[in-house]
Amino acid sequence: MNRPIAIHDGAREGEALREGEAPAEPTMKAARLYAARDVRIEDIPRPRLGPGEALIRVRAISICPSDWRMYVDGHAGGVVPERPIVQGHEFAGDVVELGAGCPDGGPIATGIRVAVEPSWPCGHCDMCVAGRGNICRHVRFPSFPPVDGALAEYIACPISALAALPDHVPYERGALAEPLGVSMHAVRLADPTPGASVCILGAGVIGIGCMLLIGRRGCGAITVVEPIEDRRSLPAGAGVRSVPSMEQLLSEGFEADIVLECSGDSRALDQAVRLAKPGGRIVVVGIPRDERITFDMSVARRRELTVIFSRRSHETIVEAVRLMATGEVDLSALPMAMYPLEETEAALCLTGAPGRFLRAVVTP
């Protein structure tokens, strides 16, 4: 276990405060998005802890394509930040302080390395009461306006959102617990039966996660569609068939029991409809940049397809960390590019120019 990290408030060590002088408010460096393509590294106040919260010293943030879209468009799904916002929601770090009501010495204590589930439900609305906190009506999601994210030195998180990260799992891999959780939730919704054929659109982090999870379920043939050549080697290395286009599959008369759309391409749902068998199931995981998309209704209706839209992850963080820690789901081969906080903009730009790197990772 890592040693606890001391936080010095107020005067620097060795300096005394003048009589009557209040301690200076602790600050931290953060990458703040002011508008489209306008990211600035600034000193801002360090978060103050509320009851039930932990202060996390951020060690690694994996940049999600949704972060890139917000960087380019200046909004998240049409929601425009009313003030400069800190992005980043896939992250891991160290617990450095606990708020009121958090027992120090339990599973989560100061000095513990943690991965974080960034979807924070209210616990009280009808969706939460029904056990569907991922679609909570009042959910807080760091990096989605107005809640600041983790592209900073520190972030405050509910202690319930934390999972202890074993010492042998690097922080940058711990940051992938959230996207792996997204894959886990999508596979649960797909509910593949033994022997079912599966087609995955997109070999990004989410698609690869789905591929590895489905491979553990004893399904039939898995096929991955990925137009980027450098990324097709990952499924191929796992013994999975990987092809560059839907057209190639359609020319072969290919159909699958389950199609998982993980690319976020605006054309992908229409492609999924054409690749699914009659009576098949489609799970839409990717988030298209366009607010409205179309698909061939006639094909979907005639095949009596089931289409399910997946929303983030759902109570997956502990299991995601366990799967990575035990090697049951091995993400160590995923190519990642590392950047310091000062080069956040470069990390965002790399995310928008997909190639062999599946994630850009910022290390404050």
Q: How far apart, in whole angstroms, are the C-alpha atoms of residue 228 and residue 291?
A: 24
Angle, helices 205-215/177-190, rounded to nearest 10 degrees:
50
H helices within the chain, ranges in order?
Answer: 65-73, 126-129, 171-174, 177-190, 205-215, 229-237, 246-251, 268-275, 297-302, 317-326, 344-351
Predicted local distance difference test score (pLDDT) of residue 103: 83
Predicted local distance difference test score (pLDDT) of residue 342: 98
Q: Rounded to an integer, what is the distance from CA 137 to the centroid of its chain?
A: 20
Q: How far apart, in whole angstroms, are the C-alpha atoms of residue 102 and residue 54?
A: 8
Token output for 258: 């389950």
| Spatial CA neighbour of 42 closest among 54, 34, 51, 53 | 34
| Spatial CA neighbour of 362 closest among 330, 351, 168 | 351
What predicted TM-score, i.e. pTM, was given to this entire model? 0.91
DSSP state of 206: H
Predicted local distance difference test score (pLDDT) of residue 133: 96
In sequence order, which residues have a C-beta less than 8 Å from that of residue 241 and are 6 or more positions away? 221, 222, 223, 224, 235
Predicted local distance difference test score (pLDDT) of residue 19: 62
The full DSSP string for 28-52 is EEEEEEEETTEEEEEEEEPPPP-TT
What's the angle, vertex CA 340, arms to CA 339 and CA 346, rounded to 5? Answer: 50
Are the C-beta atoms of 165 and 113 separated by less than 8 Å? yes
Predicted local distance difference test score (pLDDT) of residue 8: 31
How many residues in the chain?
Answer: 364
Rg (CA), the chain: 22
Q: How far apart, in whole angstroms, are the C-alpha atoms of residue 226 and residue 179?
A: 18
Token output for 51: 């009851």
The full DSSP string for 163-197 is EE--TTS-HHHHTTHHHHHHHHHHHHHH-PPTT--
Predicted local distance difference test score (pLDDT) of residue 353: 87
Q: Which residues of the chain fall short of a pLDDT of 70?
A: 1-23
| Spatial CA neighbour of 161 closest among 185, 137, 181 | 181
| Type of residue at 150 | A
Q: Which domains does the chain have, with CATH numbers?
A: 27-176+334-363 (3.90.180.10), 181-309 (3.40.50.720)
Are the C-beta atoms of 57 and 96 separated by less than 8 Å? yes
Predicted local distance difference test score (pLDDT) of residue 1: 34
